[in-house]
């Protein structure tokens, strides 16, 4: 007698946990239905008095927020813990204490549920975030990753296949926004505050250098710009609100035009037509408008995840984890995080050595 095996088609649901810095992000993605629910708690108010992230405060707040957020997201998705098939968490790069909160919680949840866990590279999350949107480009594409800690242009050829085309030699673009905002007396985090102030600024009233655009190459340097701003601001009357807004506008234009120039170069160098913008600075409206306009004239296209998926979030970690788990990757049972983890060390997924241990734990 011929045995016919009827296998019921089962989807894959992954919980994603992001705790690498000052945002607690949680989400559930479903292989068939996409993003089911996501929630975020930002610690901005907690760190505002200190002008930057205080690592120990960040870790403690993640401890307080993470499990309530997991419950909230599961409720919104109409799921229980038992409906989860895997747990993904940010394993690095980031603040070690903050990473350990997410990794420890995620691993414990996975172990308790008997499902696999996978550690995700935070930047890979950002690089893949466009796929959270219904309309998105498939690799290969060029990604501009512009956050508080990173500024890089990356050729994305597939999951885990990334080539860094250029990166910043000093400050990240978001860091330059934050530091420049601080010296103009704006609150932390400075990027959105500076962009808002620049709205009232007159274009061209102050013109700052477009660093490293006058020579070939795809690297960036932003630390000199804040010095230019400082010198210009010192020459103004501190009560002159218009001058402050004009300087903010001059700075924003310099950063945005520099980023756009390098993006166009990266597309030329790779022959690719799709540019994905990821990371917190990707929320900048002027950067979005300029890139969209410049690329449209070249038959290329700029893709932006919606702002909540540009900044840190759990959805991008859930998605990256889902893709890696589908490809067979598992983390071992150890709670391992990598505060420093170069993107260039990532490889396409392969069933890891830890898979047997994870599978037997799941077993």
Site residue total, ligand KG4 (CB under 6 A): 19
- Spell 123-157 as b/e; 16+ CB within 10 A means b: bbbbbbbbbbeeeebebbbbbbbbbbbbbbbbbbe
- Rule CB under 6 A: choose which of 24, 59, 105, 147 binds ligand KG4: 147
φ and ψ at residue 271, rounded to 5 degrees: 75, 15
- The pair of structure tokens assigned to 301 is 């296209």
Nearer to ligand KG4, 282 or 354 (CB): 282
As a three-state string, the secondary structure of 129-165 is HHHHCCCCCCCCEEEEEECCCCEEEEEEEECCEEEEE
Euclidean distance between CA atoms 343 and 122, whole angstroms: 9
Picked from ligand KG4, Zn ion, none, the partner binding residue 246 (CB below 5 to 8 A depending on kind) is none
- Rule CB under 6 A: choose which of 116, 189, 201, 305 binds ligand KG4: 189
How many CB atoms neighbour CB 64 within 10 A? 12
- The pair of structure tokens assigned to 285 is 């409206």
Picked from ligand KG4, Zn ion, none, the partner binding residue 189 (CB below 5 to 8 A depending on kind) is ligand KG4
Q: Which of residues 270-299 bind ligand KG4 (CB under 6 A)?
A: 279-281, 283-284
Picked from Zn ion, ligand KG4, none, the partner binding residue 148 (CB below 5 to 8 A depending on kind) is ligand KG4
| Cα-Cα end-to-end distance for the chain | 31
Give me the least distance between CB of 198 and Zn ion, in Å please.
Answer: 22
- Among residues 168, 263, 244, 266, which one has the least CA distance to residue 200? 244
Nearer to Zn ion, 18 or 155 (CB): 18
Nearer to ligand KG4, 24 or 284 (CB): 284
- Rule CB under 6 A: choose which of 130, 160, 192, 305 binds ligand KG4: 192
- The pair of structure tokens assigned to 131 is 């796929």
Picked from Zn ion, ligand KG4, none, the partner binding residue 137 (CB below 5 to 8 A depending on kind) is none
Picked from Zn ion, ligand KG4, none, the partner binding residue 201 (CB below 5 to 8 A depending on kind) is none
Which chain residues interact with Zn ion by CB under 5 A?
A: 147, 312
Query: Which residues 6+ apart lie within 8 Å of 328 measured at CB?
Result: 349, 350, 351, 355
Nearer to ligand KG4, 84 or 208 (CB): 208
Handedness of CA 23, 277, 210, 267 (dihedral sign): positive
Picked from Zn ion, ligand KG4, none, the partner binding residue 16 (CB below 5 to 8 A depending on kind) is none
Residue 202 · residue 246 · CB < 8 Å:
yes
How many angstroms separate the most distant Cα atoms in the chain?
92
**92 is a site residue for ligand KG4 (CB under 6 A):** no
Nearer to ligand KG4, 168 or 311 (CB): 311
Residue 87 · residue 104 · CB < 8 Å:
no
Q: Which stretch binds ligand KG4 (CB under 6 A): 65-73, 173-181, 228-236, 335-343?
A: 173-181
**314 is a site residue for ligand KG4 (CB under 6 A):** no
Give me the least distance between CB of 126 and Zn ion, in Å please.
Answer: 6
Handedness of CA 349, 354, 357, 361 (dihedral sign): negative
Binding site for ligand KG4 (CB under 6 A): 21, 147-149, 174, 177-178, 189-192, 195, 279-281, 283-284, 311-312
């Amino acid at each position: 007698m011929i045995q016919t095996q009827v296998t019921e088609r089962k989807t894959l649901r992954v919980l994603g946990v992001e705790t690498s810095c000052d945002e607690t992000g949680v989400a559930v993605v479903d292989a068939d239905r996409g993003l089911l629910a996501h929630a975020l708690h930002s610690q901005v108010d907690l760190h505002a008095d200190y002008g930057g992230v205080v690592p120990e405060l960040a870790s403690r707040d993640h401890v307080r927020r993470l499990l309530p957020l997991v419950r909230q997201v599961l409720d919104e998705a109409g799921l229980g813990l038992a409906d989860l098939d895997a747990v993904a968490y940010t394993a690095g790069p980031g603040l070690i204490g903050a990473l350990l909160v997410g990794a420890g919680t995620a691993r414990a949840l996975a172990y308790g549920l008997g499902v696999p866990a996978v550690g995700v590279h935070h930047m890979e999350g950002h690089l893949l975030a466009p796929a959270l949107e219904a309309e998105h480009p498939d690799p290969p594409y060029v990604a501009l990753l512009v956050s508080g800690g990173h500024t890089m242009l990356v050729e994305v050829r597939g999951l885990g296949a990334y080539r860094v085309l250029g990166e910043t030699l000093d400050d990240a673009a978001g860091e330059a926004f934050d530091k420049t905002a601080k010296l103009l007396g704006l609150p932390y985090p400075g990027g959105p505050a500076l962009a808002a102030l620049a709205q009232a600024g007159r274009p061209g009233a102050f013109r700052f250098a477009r660093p490293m655009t006058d020579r070939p190459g795809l690297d960036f340097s932003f630390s000199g710009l804040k010095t230019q701003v400082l010198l210009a601001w010192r020459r103004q009357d501190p009560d002159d609100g218009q001058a402050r807004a004009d300087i903010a506008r001059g700075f924003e234009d310099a950063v945005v035009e520099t980023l756009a120039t390098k993006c166009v170069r990266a597309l030329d160098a790779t022959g690719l037509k799709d540019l994905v913008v990821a990371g917190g600075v990707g929320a900048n409206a002027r950067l979005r408008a300029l890139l969209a306009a410049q690329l449209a004239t070249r038959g290329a296209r700029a893709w932006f995840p919606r702002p909540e998926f540009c900044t840190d979030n759990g959805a991008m970690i859930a998605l990256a984890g889902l893709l890696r788990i589908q490809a067979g990757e598992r983390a071992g049972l150890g709670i391992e995080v990598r505060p420093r983890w170069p993107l260039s060390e990532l490889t396409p997924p392969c069933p890891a050595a830890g898979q047997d241990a994870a599978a037997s734990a799941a077993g």
